[in-house]
Structure 1
Amino acid sequence: MALAFLFALLLQRIPFVAHNFDMDVLDRMQQREVYLQEQMTKMLLEIEEEDMAQSRMDIQALLFTALPYWFVLCVFVPLFWLTWKIYKKIQGVEDGSDEESSRSEEEEEEEEDDGIFFSDMFWTIQSHQSDCEQMYSLMRCVMDVCQDMMSDTFYPVPECLIGVGSTFEGWCPVRNVPVFSLLVPLLAPRGHTFHLDLGTTGEVPATDSCIRVELECTCGREQEMRMLCFLHSSTKQLDSQEPSLLGSLCTDSYLDAEKTACWFQELICDAWNRMPVSEFTMEIDTVKSRRSCRIHVRDLDQRIFYIEFVFGVQQDDTDIFLSSHEIVARHTPSTVWPQSCVVAERKFLQYIANHAQGGSFYIRYLQLCAYLMAGLKFSIYDLKTVVMHLLTTIPLEGWHRRDFLQRMDDIVNYLSCCVEEKRLNHFMVGNDLVPEEIILPQEFRESAPLNVFQHLEEEPDKYEQAQLDVEELQDRFTSMVIYGR
């Protein structure tokens, strides 16, 4: 009972205490609360600043620790990029957005491919080209002197030289001493005419053709031509005049190739002596000059250049000449001037070079094949004939460097088939694929094709040897592809 009373008394006292609570104390408590909040905020800011400073220190320490790795990365990334670019260049992989860049990529790739199939010895063409230009320019100056010397004589008048043969065509066989062959077109002297007799066998090209020299009447033009008429002047009158061409370079009214060669040797010596002082010295090779004139000139560096002059008379306005060149494998009489296609062939190769998208790379095939055929019984002309046929049957865009293996295989297989069939057609005779730009006599275009391999049909021993040579050529080509030589 007493406890209940005490509990009731306490309940009555609590509201009384709360009611009398001091207001000053309450104010101080509120101020304390505000102060504590401010201090808490300040402490939080300080803690945050310390965390940020510590974070910066940690980042700096991390960067400093990773500095060697950054250095290695900076070195190897550019190195990797450079290596990647070099690799792309070697592979020829360049992504072009237009046709021009794509074409440039192909050219770069082709240049890289050169080193795969050709060693340094196959890159002498440019130097030969420079030598060709130098020798042609030198000999043209000599010919200018010769023309002046012959203008008032009764000897043939040399015209502008024509570079012919493998050296001037750009594919002189590797390791062969280049011979600069020059065709000297001859004009009949005043009071004379040249008549071309194309022989009696009916062969095309003719191998027994001759140049008949005839005198023409100059009566009424004697003063203009500064000569007496050989036909209608007396013997006594003609004693004061030099003899006609019939009495100097002819045999039985036909121009003699051997006499012409001897005359030209003397002429070129006289012309050389009249030349201004030159850096070259000249010597004539009389041993090998039966139907041509062979000289060699030496420059200040003691380099020797071999030059051969072959004489010819143009057939009408065509690219065919009656030439003094020797017929291979048989004796050529001195009065015989076989029909020659050397000018037409060079003109054809120039035509191909002008129209081929791959430039003049096709001459590498000629040069390389001539190298592979060294020592075999096939002639250089056989090779040239095969390549000329293929140049007119395979599109010219297929003669790029990238087509090297396929084209070389085509050349070898074409020659092999020709040997097997014992037939290789002459390129300039009866061939409808010869461009119209090559000016040929009508009989060349209308004649039946001429078999260059006729001897294989007639002589079994030569046929067997040709088969062996084809096998050897195929082996050499395979060895070159595998071993690079």
Structure 2
Amino acid sequence: MAMGLFRVCLVVVTAIVNHPLLFPRENATVPENEEEIIRKMQEHQEKLQLEQLRLEEEVSRLVAEKEALQQVEEVGQQQSEAHTAWDLWSTLCMILFLIIEVWRQDHQDGPLPECLGADEDELPGLGGPPLQGLTLPNMAILGHFYERCIRSATADAARTREFVEGFVDDLLEALRSLYNQDTDMEMEDFIGVGSMYENWQVDRPLLCHLFVPFTLPEPYCFHPELWCSSRSVPLDRQGYSQIRVARADGDPLGCICGKTKLGEDMLCLLHGKNHETWFSSGQGLKMEDLLGSSESPYLDAMRVMKWFQTSLTRAWHLIAHKYEFDLAFGQLDTPGSLKIKFRSGKFMPLILTPVIQCHDSDLYFVSHLPREPFGGTPVSSTDWLLSFAVYERQFLRMIAKALPEGACHLSCLQIASFLLSKQSRLTGPSGLSNYHLKTALLHLLLSRPAADWKATQLDVRLRELLCFLEKCLLEKKLHHFFVGNRKVPEAMGLPEALLRAEPLNLFRSFVVQRTLYCSTVASFYEMLKNAPTLISEYSLHVPSDHTSPPPKAVVL
């Protein structure tokens, strides 16, 4: 720019100096023709104007280049600042990811046996609209389906419960007459749990599930150790606890059967066959003589199961002459799984599960369930599953009082359970169970206003239940309703230790078992696909396969 200004000044000075009127030359000859002089002066003026225009263009170009350079410098500075900020955020994110990974490793038992989850391409419906655009039948078809296939199938539920309860009362009374009050474990009154006592049983034949609590003779008692009570346990054992057998006064474990004379045919249920040898030899009681494990001081569920089955067999033989039916074990791996077989060929299943009460609460430890609700299996025979069945029944009763008359919450659960049952018969059982359906419903009952459960909103609530279940499946996360749930009403009286515990994921098995997860998701979407047709077909006629064939049984 400075060079351009210098050129302009030089041209002006040259023009002034060479101007003939200002600085006339001595030897110059004045042209004779005045017009010629004027013409030359005009030509010279035009040259000066052209030169001035050129110089102005040069100055403008230089100014534009300078401004462009300044803009480039500003953009570069902004990019540098942005790059610095991005580097800072990247570093912070990396640190955060490392912290999460360290935390995850600390809370994991070891390397997972399988991939953490399935690829998106392997999961049908992932990333699509909720329920893949499922269109359920209208209220008229749903109502007709419910009346024809569900209400009619469970119409005799009350009569079935009455018959079973009367028989079980007689069976337990016979069992009590066989044991020694000073040395044997005592059976308490049964407690009805499950879908039959929550009024949402769907499948035929109707199945009554009864808990039978048992206690130790004084001065002995059970000391349960919850997994969430100030001790660290692996993730696959959360929900399971261990139970010690100890004296109520805290003294070392002893036995009173050595101080009491037993009959020849009597056997202390706390001990094995060789208990008399220990006392006669003065060696005292050893832990392996208890129903506990030989390798630990905890109660052994397998020994309790065998003891309970033996006790039921003896009690039935005592009263069998009073009844005109046979009694058999339904499932050998389930203690108390019984089947009443009538002479007409009909049968009636029931389950008596020996349980131990958890302190003074309505929580019970069960030795075994037909299907583990926590999605895992006990790793040791000393692991007892903590059951919330009594609390679940109480919550449904309590919430029913606040809902509108004829509320549709149980109808939603029954229809969903019906669809799951039919799908299981088509494609085989999956990782999804009725317990998961009930848990999803309990969460919705706690989050939805009571007015939203009117009978006229059955189709809306059913779709919401299935949509909630789909979301939980895709996230592989369905929290237990009571464990770690601060929203549970205080009136339930749930122990504070369980309310403060970390939430328990019922879908954890899907995280560690990729094959099970993929098959479950595929089965779930197949169920949704078949639901409209299945409901429409069953609302017109009930197929002959609505009642499942009786399984094989072992006669007592």
TM tier relative to shorter chain:
0.5 to 0.7
Give the number of aligned pairs.
Answer: 367
Structure 2 residue matching 1:417: 3-state secondary structure: helix
- 1:318-345 CA deviation, whole Å, 9 max, x = no partner? 1211111244553543222121212222
Structure 2 residue matching 1:259: 3-state secondary structure: helix
Q: Does 1:129 align with 2:161?
A: no
| Residue number in structure 1 paired with 2:358 | 315
| Residue number in structure 1 paired with 2:348 | 305
How far apart are the structure 2 equivalents of 1:238 and 1:171?
Answer: 53
- 1:176-197 CA deviation, whole Å, 9 max, x = no partner? 4333221111111234221112
| Residue number in structure 1 paired with 2:389 | 342
The answer on whether the counterparts of 2:154 and 2:202 sit within 8 Å (CA) in structure 1 is no
**Aligned 1:192-211 pairs, distance under 5 A:** 192-199=220-227, 200-202=231-233, 206-211=238-243
Shift of 1:413: 0.9
Structure 1 counterpart of 2:500, which letter?
Answer: E
| Residue number in structure 2 paired with 1:250 | 292
How far apart are the structure 1 equivalents of 2:535 and 2:496?
Answer: 44
Structure 1 counterpart of 2:293, which letter?
Answer: T
Q: Which moved more, 1:255-264 or 1:354-363?
A: 354-363
Specify which of 237, 242, 265 is matched with residue 309 of structure 2.
Answer: 265
Q: Does 1:415 align with 2:415?
A: no
| Residue number in structure 2 paired with 1:71 | none
Structure 2 residue matching 1:154: 3-state secondary structure: coil
Q: Which moved more, 1:385-394 or 1:357-366?
A: 357-366
| Residue number in structure 1 paired with 2:89 | none
Structure 1 residue matching 2:340: 3-state secondary structure: strand
Structure 1 counterpart of 2:164, which letter?
Answer: M
The answer on whether the counterparts of 2:408 and 2:457 sit within 8 Å (CA) in structure 1 is no
| Residue number in structure 2 paired with 1:452 | 506
Shift of 1:483: 5.0
Shift of 1:301: 4.8
Q: Does 1:274 align with 2:328?
A: no
How far apart are the structure 2 equivalents of 1:264 and 1:133?
Answer: 23
TM-score normalised by L of structure 2: 0.58
Structure 2 residue matching 1:214: 3-state secondary structure: strand
How far apart are the structure 1 equivalents of 2:521 and 2:239?
Answer: 28
| Residue number in structure 1 paired with 2:64 | none
Shift of 1:295: 1.7
Compared CA separation, residues 248 and 283, structure 1 to 2 (3 A):
farther
Structure 2 residue matching 1:297: 3-state secondary structure: strand
TM-score normalised by L of structure 1: 0.66
Q: Does 1:385 align with 2:427?
A: no
Specify which of 121, 135, 146 is matched with residue 175 of structure 2.
Answer: 146
Structure 1: give runs of 5+ residues left out of the alignment: 1-110
The answer on whether the counterparts of 1:257 and 1:291 sit within 8 Å (CA) in structure 2 is no
How far apart are the structure 2 equivalents of 1:304 and 1:481?
Answer: 28
| Residue number in structure 1 paired with 2:329 | 285
Shift of 1:163: 1.3
Compared CA separation, residues 279 and 202, structure 1 to 2 (3 A):
same
How far apart are the structure 1 equivalents of 2:454 and 2:281?
Answer: 65
The answer on whether the counterparts of 2:309 and 2:336 sit within 8 Å (CA) in structure 1 is yes
| Larger helix share, 1 or 2 | 1
Q: Which moved more, 1:305-314 or 1:140-149?
A: 140-149
Compared CA separation, residues 149 and 361, structure 1 to 2 (3 A):
farther
How far apart are the structure 2 equivalents of 1:360 and 1:302?
Answer: 38
| Residue number in structure 1 paired with 2:8 | none
Shift of 1:243: 8.3
How far apart are the structure 1 equivalents of 2:211 and 2:407?
Answer: 23
| Residue number in structure 2 paired with 1:49 | none
Q: Percent identity?
A: 23
How far apart are the structure 1 equivalents of 2:446 and 2:359?
Answer: 26
**Aligned 1:429-468 pairs, distance under 5 A:** 429-468=483-522
Shift of 1:246: 6.5
| Residue number in structure 1 paired with 2:367 | 324
| Residue number in structure 2 paired with 1:425 | 479
Shift of 1:237: 10
How far apart are the structure 2 equivalents of 1:338 and 1:416?
Answer: 27
The answer on whether the counterparts of 1:430 and 1:446 sit within 8 Å (CA) in structure 2 is yes
Compared CA separation, residues 325 and 276, structure 1 to 2 (3 A):
closer
Shift of 1:281: 2.8
- Which structure's relative contact order is higher, taking Cα pairs within 8 Å and 6+ residues apart? 2
| Residue number in structure 2 paired with 1:95 | none
- 1:217-239 CA deviation, whole Å, 9 max, x = no partner? 799xxxx9994599xxx988944
Shift of 1:127: 1.0
Shift of 1:427: 0.7
Compared CA separation, residues 467 and 335, structure 1 to 2 (3 A):
closer
| Residue number in structure 1 paired with 2:129 | none
Shift of 1:314: 1.0
| Residue number in structure 2 paired with 1:11 | none
Shift of 1:300: 5.9
The answer on whether the counterparts of 2:407 and 2:455 sit within 8 Å (CA) in structure 1 is no
How far apart are the structure 2 equivalents of 1:301 and 1:447?
Answer: 51
Compared CA separation, residues 243 and 184, structure 1 to 2 (3 A):
farther
How far apart are the structure 1 equivalents of 2:314 and 2:351?
Answer: 17
Q: Which moved more, 1:253-262 or 1:304-313?
A: 253-262
Shift of 1:297: 1.5
Compared CA separation, residues 133 and 349, structure 1 to 2 (3 A):
farther
The answer on whether the counterparts of 2:142 and 2:459 sit within 8 Å (CA) in structure 1 is no
How far apart are the structure 1 equivalents of 2:336 and 2:469?
Answer: 34
- 1:299-321 CA deviation, whole Å, 9 max, x = no partner? 46543111222121111121211
How far apart are the structure 1 equivalents of 2:201 and 2:277?
Answer: 55
How far apart are the structure 1 equivalents of 2:486 and 2:517?
Answer: 28
**Aligned 1:7-18 pairs, distance under 5 A:** none
| Residue number in structure 2 paired with 1:212 | 244
How far apart are the structure 1 equivalents of 2:334 and 2:232?
Answer: 23
How far apart are the structure 1 equivalents of 2:155 and 2:223?
Answer: 41
Shift of 1:470: 3.6
How far apart are the structure 2 equivalents of 1:264 and 1:296?
Answer: 16
How far apart are the structure 2 equivalents of 1:306 and 1:116?
Answer: 29
Structure 2 residue matching 1:283: 3-state secondary structure: strand
The answer on whether the counterparts of 1:426 and 1:451 sit within 8 Å (CA) in structure 2 is yes
How far apart are the structure 2 equivalents of 1:300 and 1:396?
Answer: 48
Shift of 1:418: 1.5
Specify which of 328, 337, 341 is matched with residue 294 of structure 1.
Answer: 337
Shift of 1:364: 2.3
Structure 1 counterpart of 2:497, which letter?
Answer: E
Q: Highest Rg: 1 or 2? A: 1
Structure 2 counterpart of 1:135, which letter?
Answer: V
Structure 1 counterpart of 2:246, which letter?
Answer: E
| Residue number in structure 1 paired with 2:452 | 398
| Residue number in structure 2 paired with 1:478 | 532
Shift of 1:405: 0.7
Structure 1 counterpart of 2:242, which letter?
Answer: C
